[in-house]
Amino acid sequence: MRTFVSRNAFPLGIAVVATAFLGLFFLYPVLKVFVSSVITPDGAHFTLQNYKDVLGSGFFLQGLTNSLSIAAMASFFSMLVGVPFAFCVARLPIAGKPVLLALTALPLVLPSFVSAYALVLMFGRAGIVTGFLRDIGIPFDSIYGVKGIVIAYTLTLYPYVVLPTVAAFKSLDVSVEEAAQNLGASRGRMLRTVTLPLVLPSILAGGLLVFIEGLENFGVPFVLAEDRPILAIEAYKMFVGETATNPSSAGVLGMLLIICTVAALLVQRGMLAQRRYATGARGATPLIDVTPGVRRLASIFCWFVIAAALVPFAAVVLISFLKFSGPVLQYQFSFSNFVQLFERSYRPLGNTLLLSTLAACVATLIGVPIGYVLVRYRSRLSAILDIVATSPFAVAGTVLGIGLVMAFSSGFLILTGTALILIIAYSVRKLPFAVRSASAIVHQIDPSLEEASISLGVPPLQTFVRIMVPLMVGGIVGAFVLTFVTIASELSSTVVLYSGQWSTMTVLMFQALEGNSPGVGTSAATILILCTVLPVALVYRLLRRYEMSML
Amino acid sequence: MTSITIDKAARTFGSVRAVDGISLDVRDGEFFTLLGPSGCGKTTLLRMVAGFCPLDEGRILFGDARIDTLPAHKRNTGMVFQNYAVFPNMKVGDNVAYGLRARNVSKADTERRVEAALKLVQLGGYGTRWPYQLSGGQLQRVAIARAIVIEPHVLLLDEPLSNLDAKLRVEMRSEIRRIQKMLGITVLYVTHDQEEALSMSDRIAVMRSGHVEQCAEPKVIYEQPATAFVANFVGTTNLLKGTVVTRTGNDVEVKVGTTGIKADAHGAAAAVGQGVVLSLRPEALRLVASGEAPPPGWSTLVGTLGETEYLGALTRFQVKVADGTVLQLMSLVPPQGDAQVTIACDPSRVVVLPEDA
Ligand SMILES: Nc1ncnc2c1ncn2[C@@H]1O[C@H](COP(=O)(O)OP(=O)(O)OP(=O)(O)O)[C@@H](O)[C@H]1O
Ligand SMILES: [Mg+2]
């Protein structure tokens, strides 16, 4: 036992810190949600009545079906768009590929509810395009409901499919394809029987990410669902309660959400474990020769997808510089929206920047050592640590927010109404991302570099600082910035947890949507977009330069 | 520069006993090689010496000082890795200076020693280059320079040449040997390439699943292997099972099937009636032309000519003897004609080995 502890002091220390942090701020709140779902409203004794009530109600059952079917459709359409897109980018000579690649992941870091909001502004009941179509006599049914939500999800989440699929297409061993052709398979047959099965695990992994995100997301359905029930929103409404709060039902809905996401995650893990093809790729996979016609078609397709994904954001930015009188748009350039936005206070913008920075620091400081341990110390301990550290991914922001309120509004630690509870919620939610990016970075660094340094006389901790940190720093800064920007546009736990003085830009947008004041809404969205695009653009340069020096 | 004593070192991973109580003495200034098939524990043993793999049992000493309880960075070993492990974020010069800076060597001294080390590996003037501007062979030289510049007690190399192409590998062999002789440094070298081991080493320890089968000079390993495993792993050989029928002094006769084969036991324990294994290297066997008498004192075997393989300078061929055993032979002149051939074997080159347990 003593030797075990001394040999594993570092990973054990990290595991203790991680478990303590997540135990208190993640498992305990989730447990609270669970408990609230299985006790009577007066808190007196155990009951399953809450589940019977919720599952017996046509309204909530409809919510469950809506949530699941929307997530499934979003996943399907993301794959439908994402796979051909990934293939074109990875294997065909597309025009303007570097720019295309740089823009591909952008929708993932931009706030998705802004895209949904843009859809409403353009295709909503009083939307610009709707009005225009009506004027020229084309009847147009509005965008609200399942249809709109699926469109918004597809446009913002398809990169989840594209990114792993491009990587898979690129890491494919060409000789496998050549072997297929050599054995007499036509190019189409080869794609169907060899190439596609090899990249299928990556496609499905991406598809399941879309599914989970589609289940958990709060903002997009909030903008587009109108009165149709959606799990994440109903849980919020039950808990915050416009009429009467009902923590028991909120707890049940939260548990249903968790069960669905955990099931999806387990399926994804199982699938990845089952089909791991070792491809001994030698160098870059070559591009496929195609006729100029095909090339043009593929280029048009890719650029169309990118445009469709990014135009809503551009539209919101554009509209934010036009004048509104009440909710009615005047086609006239003006800063009045921004004036109106900042009239009362700059505080929300300051809050967003401050809270995002602090939470990203916490997530990075805890996540990077965990990621390091996961890669460098392979043991049962690290396997457990992996599961613990990535589990926040399975819990929707709304549910985590509800749990945190249940856990820390009374008792030994009171945090509700503070900035701290927001920082905690954000860092818990983003911890899996920080861990994953850190372990991806460490994975690429040869362990013998550290050993070389140690054998040259530099102690382990100093070696970590002198060798690992410089090698990891580019990746960590990149991950930090991505964490920062995704926190800046976090809505689902924020709406549950914020209090007056700690409201953020996303809350401003949320309130503008509720109060139907598009001027404030669009200008807040523009500020948010700036808050994401600027840092990402900055590190994009940095990462590129860093990669070049690493080659 | 020091001797290394490994005393009953052992390490278990799960159910695998990777190093199973190994004891070895490496002399001061010796080029000592650990040779063995994949997974036999060579790397594990080397990493024990370097300090990257804690011992479950046993001790390791440099000279008289016990070092297995020291952390890796205090052992003053220079290690060269299979994949170079040159720090990609530092220039060549900074890589080589890395260990000196950790030892707080003065700036002027560092500069001088770095340049000297780079010259020694024939990379004088490369200090300002980035690692990505170098070829594989050059990177390996940087790794060697970096390891020797700290004047380590021992130099540890784990298959340093296996990532290089065949020609460069041969070149680097003599390069490493030259540097070792010049510095007089103790080297512990790991390889699974027998040619590398035979050509470079002062002594070789042949390993098999966590223990040492034989530890001796290359010539002894090849000509007088201690076990059938060693005979088979180092070089090509024919192993025949038999029973000792007569023994006078070191001259024994072993009955293999129906034929008797004479051999020199070289002091091996082989009592009459005992089961043994004979190792017949191709060079111990010679074809006897029909009508010609075999050299006096040599035993003969009769068989049929099998496949022949033309290798340029040599021809390799097979002979199937009466009991069905296929023997591998080599000769300068390709065998001619007859399907029926007679083979003579040189008793002084036949090795008598104990039966494998
Ligand atoms: N960290 C480890 N965890 C578990 N098993 C290990 C570990 N390191 C080595 N082993 C096992 O110990 C045995 C010896 O491994 P080692 O790396 O020393 O072999 P080797 O002789 O260097 O082989 P190779 O020539 O392939 O490098 C192998 O069975 C290996 O699987
Ligand atoms: Mg090895």
Tell me: do A108 and A238 sit in the same domain.
yes
**CATH classification at residue B278:** 2.40.50.140
- Answer whether B32's CB lies under 8 Å from B202's CB: yes
Q: Mark which of B231, B256, B288 sits at the end of a domain.
A: B231
Tell me: do B128 and B23 sit in the same domain.
yes
* pLDDT for A515 beyond 80: no
Token duo for residue A456: 């040259």
Ligand 1: list residues with CB < 6 Å: B 13, 16, 18, 36, 38-44, 192
Q: For residue A325, tell me if it sits in a domain.
A: no
For the segment A182-204, the average pLDDT, to the nearest whole number, is: 76
Relative to beta strand B351-354, strand B326-331 is unpaired
Query: What's the pLDDT at A550?
Result: 34
Answer with the residue of higher pLDDT: B51 or B112. Answer: B112
Beta-carbon separation of B51 and A455 below 8 A: yes
Tell me: do A31 and A130 sit in the same domain.
no
Considering every ligand atom shown, identify the ligand nearest to the alpha carbon of residue B13 and give its number: 1
Query: What's the pLDDT at A130?
Result: 81
Most confident range (mean pLDDT) of A17-31, A102-116, A166-180, A260-274 is: A17-31
For A351-369, the pLDDT digits (tens) are 999 999 999 999 999 998 8
Q: For residue A297, tell me if it sits in a domain.
A: yes
Tell me: do B277 and B244 sit in the same domain.
yes
Confidence of residue A548 (pLDDT cuts 50, 70, 90): very low
Cα B246 to its chain centre, rounded Å, is: 34
Distance CA A150, CA B117 (A): 65
Percent of chain A with pLDDT over 90: 25
Answer with the residue of higher pLDDT: B27 or B73. Answer: B27
Distance CA A276, CA A491 (A): 36
**Which amino acid type is present at position B24?**
L
Tell me: do B227 and B265 sit in the same domain.
no
For A95-133, the pLDDT digits (tens) are 888 888 888 888 888 888 889 988 888 888 777 888 888
Tell me: do B226 and B256 sit in the same domain.
no
Query: What's the pLDDT at A281?
Result: 45
B-chain CB neighbours of A449 within 8 Å are 85, 87
For the segment A23-44, the average pLDDT, to the nearest whole number, is: 88
From edge to edge, which strands make up the β-sheet containing B238-248?
Answer: B259-264, B251-256, B238-248, B275-280, B351-354
Residue A367, classed as helix, strand or coil, is helix
For the segment B100-107, the average pLDDT, to the nearest whole number, is: 90
- Answer whether B140's CB lies under 8 Å from B80's CB: yes
What are the Cα distances from residue A130, in Å, to A99, A135, A169, B332? Answer: 32, 9, 40, 92
The torsion of the CA quartet A505, A511, A512, A516, rounded to 10 degrees, works out to 170
DSSP state, residue A39: B
Give the up-direction half-sphere exposure of residue A404: CA atoms within 13 A in the CB hemisphere.
Answer: 33
Tell me: do A108 and A2 sit in the same domain.
no
Tokens 């890491």: give the residue: A171
**CATH classification at residue A531:** 1.10.3720.10
Closest CA to ligand 1's atom 20:
B39
Token duo for residue B105: 């060597």
Q: Mention every residue, 6+ apart, whose C-beta is less than 8 A from residue A245.
A: A238, A239
A-chain CB neighbours of B54 within 8 Å are 3, 7
Distance CA B11, CA B14 (A): 10
Can you give the residue range of the structural domain that contains B325? 239-354
Q: For residue A502, tell me if it sits in a domain.
A: yes
Nearest partner of A430 among A399, A390, A386, A403, judged by Cα: A390
Q: Does B129 touch chain A (CB under 8 A)?
A: no
Q: Mark which of B205, B231, B257 sits at the end of a domain.
A: B231
Relative to beta strand B77-80, strand B154-158 is parallel
Q: Does A456 touch chain B (CB under 8 A)?
A: yes
Token duo for residue B261: 């084969």
Q: For residue A330, tell me if it sits in a domain.
A: no
Tell me: do A32 and A135 sit in the same domain.
no
- Cβ-based neighbour number of residue B139 at 10 Å: 21
Q: Does A467 touch chain B (CB under 8 A)?
A: yes
Through-space distance between the first and last CA atoms of chain A, rounded to whole angstroms: 43
Q: Does A458 touch chain B (CB under 8 A)?
A: yes
Query: What's the pLDDT at B178?
Result: 92
Query: What's the pLDDT at A279?
Result: 45
* pLDDT for A476 beyond 90: no
Q: Per this entry, what is the length of chain A? A: 551
Query: ipTM of this predicted complex?
Result: 0.76
Tell me: do A2 and A53 sit in the same domain.
no
Confidence of residue A400 (pLDDT cuts 50, 70, 90): very high
Q: Does A43 touch chain B (CB under 8 A)?
A: no
- B78, B102, B146 member nearest A458 (Cβ): B102
Token duo for residue A229: 């029930």
Beta-carbon separation of B87 and A550 below 8 A: no
For A266-320, the pLDDT digits (tens) are 887 777 665 555 444 445 567 777 788 889 999 999 999 999 999 999 999 998 8
Q: Mark which of B191, B212, B231 sits at the end of a domain.
A: B231
Q: Mark which of A263, A292, A320 sits at the end of a domain.
A: A320
Helices A112-123 and A518-550: crossing angle in degrees, nearest 10, is 140
The torsion of the CA quartet A201, A203, A208, A214, rounded to 10 degrees, works out to 180
Can you give the residue range of the structural domain that contains A542? 1-36+340-551
Cα A189 to its chain centre, rounded Å, is: 35
Q: Cα angle at A73 between A68 and A79, to 5 degrees? A: 130
For B149-180, the pLDDT digits (tens) are 999 999 999 999 988 888 888 888 998 999 99
Scanning A136-165 for CB atoms below 8 A from B yields: none
Distance CA A125, CA B110 (A): 75
Interface-testing mutation among A10, A456, A473, with chain B (most B C-beta atoms within 10 A): A456
Per residue in B149-180, is it b (16+ CB within 10 Å) or e — as a string?
bbebbbbbbbbbbebbeeebbeebbebbbebb
Interface-testing mutation among B73, B94, B110, with chain A (most A C-beta atoms within 10 A): B73
**Which amino acid type is present at position B21?**
G
Considering every ligand atom shown, identify the ligand nearest to the alpha carbon of residue B157 and give its number: 2
Query: What's the pLDDT at A433?
Result: 87
**Which amino acid type is present at position A291?**
T
In the beta sheet, which residues pair with residue B326? B320
Confidence of residue A551 (pLDDT cuts 50, 70, 90): very low
Most confident range (mean pLDDT) of A407-416, B166-175, B182-191 is: B182-191
Tell me: do B199 and B252 sit in the same domain.
no
Tell me: do B112 and B184 sit in the same domain.
yes
CA-nearest residue to A447 within chain B is B85
Nearest partner of A471 among A504, A448, A449, judged by Cα: A449
**CATH classification at residue B31:** 3.40.50.300
Cα A356 to its chain centre, rounded Å, is: 15
* pLDDT for B182 beyond 60: yes
Tell me: do B223 and B275 sit in the same domain.
no
For the segment B14-25, the average pLDDT, to the nearest whole number, is: 93
Tell me: do A293 and A416 sit in the same domain.
no
Closest CA to ligand 1's atom 2:
B13
Tell me: do A78 and A29 sit in the same domain.
no
Q: In chain B, how many domains are there? A: 2
- B71, B85, B143 member nearest A446 (Cβ): B85
Tell me: do A280 and A371 sit in the same domain.
no
Q: In chain A, how many domains are there? A: 2
Tell me: do B224 and B244 sit in the same domain.
no
Tell me: do B221 and B133 sit in the same domain.
yes
For A61-100, the pLDDT digits (tens) are 899 999 999 999 999 999 999 999 999 988 888 888 888 8
Tokens 């790991």: give the residue: B190
Mean pLDDT in chain B? 89
- Answer whether A352's CB lies under 8 Å from A504's CB: yes
Distance CA B254, CA B345 (A): 13
Tell me: do B262 and B222 sit in the same domain.
no
Tell me: do A9 and A106 sit in the same domain.
no
Through-space distance between the first and last CA atoms of chain B, rounded to whole angstroms: 39
Query: What's the pLDDT at A543?
Result: 54
Tell me: do B96 and B151 sit in the same domain.
yes
Beta-carbon separation of A458 and B98 below 8 A: yes
Q: For residue A304, tell me if it sits in a domain.
A: yes
Q: Does A6 touch chain B (CB under 8 A)?
A: no
Tell me: do A375 and A263 sit in the same domain.
no
Percent of chain A with pLDDT over 70: 90
- Answer whether A366's CB lies under 8 Å from A372's CB: no
- Answer whether B85's CB lies under 8 Å from B94's CB: no
What are the Cα distances from residue A25, in Å, to A14, A39, A148, A161, A426? Answer: 16, 22, 35, 31, 11
Tell me: do A467 and A511 sit in the same domain.
yes
CA-B46 nearest atom, ligand 1: 18
Categorise residue A245: left if φ over 0, alpha if ψ from -120 to 50, beta otherwise. beta
- Answer whether B272's CB lies under 8 Å from B320's CB: no
CA-B210 nearest atom, ligand 1: 14
Mean pLDDT in chain A? 84
CA-nearest residue to B132 within chain A is A551
Distance CA B81, CA B132 (A): 17
| Least confident residue range of A527-541, B171-185, B209-223 | A527-541
- B102, B143, B156 member nearest A457 (Cβ): B102
Token duo for residue A223: 């903008």
* pLDDT for A202 beyond 90: no
Confidence of residue B101 (pLDDT cuts 50, 70, 90): confident
Helices B92-102 and B136-148: crossing angle in degrees, nearest 10, is 20
Tell me: do B66 and B141 sit in the same domain.
yes
Interface-testing mutation among A455, A465, A551, with chain B (most B C-beta atoms within 10 A): A455
What are the Cα distances from residue A253, in Å, to A250, A257, A395? Answer: 5, 6, 12
Most confident range (mean pLDDT) of A273-287, A389-403, A514-528 is: A389-403
- Answer whether A458's CB lies under 8 Å from B73's CB: yes
Per residue in A165-185, is it b (16+ CB within 10 Å) or e — as a string?
bbebbebbbeebbeebeeeeb
Nearest partner of A388 among A33, A15, A32, judged by Cα: A15
For the segment B204-216, the average pLDDT, to the nearest whole number, is: 95
Beta-carbon separation of A455 and B85 below 8 A: no
Alpha helix stretches (DSSP H) within chain B:
42-50, 92-102, 107-120, 136-148, 166-183, 194-200, 218-223, 228-233
Q: Out of B44, B79, B157, B209, give the residue to mutate to test ligand 1, the one with the largest number of ligand atoms within 8 Å of its CB.
A: B44
Tell me: do A257 and A293 sit in the same domain.
yes
Q: For residue A333, tell me if it sits in a domain.
A: no
pTM beyond 0.80: no
For the segment A427-448, the average pLDDT, to the nearest whole number, is: 86
Percent of chain B with pLDDT over 90: 45
A-chain CB neighbours of B77 within 8 Å are 455
Distance CA B300, CA B284 (A): 12
DSSP state, residue A465: I
